[in-house]
Amino acid sequence: MNELAGQVAVVTGGSQGIGKAICLMLARQGATVVACARKVEKLQAVAEEAAKQCLSGKVQPYPLDVTDREAIDKMVEDVIAQHSKIDVLVNNAGITKDGLMLNMEDEQFEAVLTTNLRSAFWTVRAVSKYMVRARFGRIINISSVSGVMGNAGQSNYAASKAGLIGFTKSVAKELAKRNITCNAIAPGFVMTEMTDVLPEKVKEIVKPLIPMNRFGEPDDIASAAAFLAGSGAKYITGQVLVVDGGLCM
C-alpha cells in the first residue's frame, strides 16, 4: 500500500478525469503529489478529497498552464525548493480540438501540439535535470490509442500522441543509464469530461469494437501509472502500455 511513501510526484492535468485518478492513486500509495492544472478550485477539491479519504500521501494543488514554458520551469523550481526532489513525473494534461484534416485551421493543430506534446518536452527537460542528479526517476507520458492507430477527425491529436511515443522512447534511451525510466500509457476510450462531449452515436459505434465491451474508467489508467511508478516496473523503460480493453490489439 505504501509503495511510494516518501516519494514526490508531479502530475499535470491533475484536476479531473484521468489525472485526478492518478493523483489520488499515487497519494493512496504514500506519495506527495503536486497536482497541476489551470483551474485552481478543481485542484483544491482533489486535495480535499485526498485529505478526506485519509490517504497516506497527500495532494498539493499547483496552478499551472502547461503551454507556458516559463511557468513550467518555475513550477519545477518551486517543487524542488519545497521537497528537494521529484521522483515521478506524469505528463497527463491534454486537450482535443477535433476536425477533419482538410478543414483544420493552423491554430487547431498548433494548440493541440503545444498542450499535448511540447509541454511534455518542457516538463521532462526541466525535471530530468534533478532526476539525473538523484540517479532516480520515473517519467510517465499519457499518450492514446489514437497515437498508435490514428483516428479520423483527430489528425492533430493523433500526431501529438504519436509524437509523445517517439519522445518517450528517445528519452528512455538517453536516461536509462541514470536509472530513470520513461514509459507511455496509451488509454483507449475512458469515461471523462473529454469523452462526455462525444455524441451518443459515436459511443454506440465504439463500444462494440472494445473486446471487453465497456469503456475504461479513470482508475484503470491510474493503476497502470502507479505500476509504472512503482518498484515492480524498475526494469521497464521505453514501453507503451496500452490500456484499452483490447480495442487496438
Of 97 and 178, CB closest to ligand NAP = 97
The span from the CA of 99 to the CA of 65, in Å, is 24
Sites of contact with ligand NAP (CB under 6 A)? 12-13, 15-19, 37-39, 42, 64-67, 92-95, 115, 142, 144, 187, 189-190, 192-195
Nearest by Cα to 143 from 121, 168, 118: 168
Q: Which is nearer to ligand NAP, 93 or 136 (CB)?
A: 93
Of the two residues 18 and 139, which places its CB atom closer to ligand NAP in the complex? Answer: 18
Structural contact between residues 127 and 10, judged by C-beta atoms closer than 8 angstroms: yes
Active site residue 157: yes
Q: End-to-end CA distance of the chain, in Å?
A: 31
Sheet holding 88-91, edge to edge: 58-63, 32-37, 8-12, 88-91, 137-142, 180-187, 240-243
With helix as H, strand as E and coil as C, how does 180-201 read? EEEEEEEECCECCHHHHCCCHH
Cα–Cα distance for residue pair 159/96, rounded to 1 Å: 11
Q: Are 138 and 231 in contact (CB under 8 A)?
A: no
Query: How distant is the alpha carbon of residue 100 from its chain centre?
Result: 25
Closer residue to ligand NAP, CB minimum distance, 194 or 236: 194
Question: Which residues are known to be catalytic?
Answer: 157
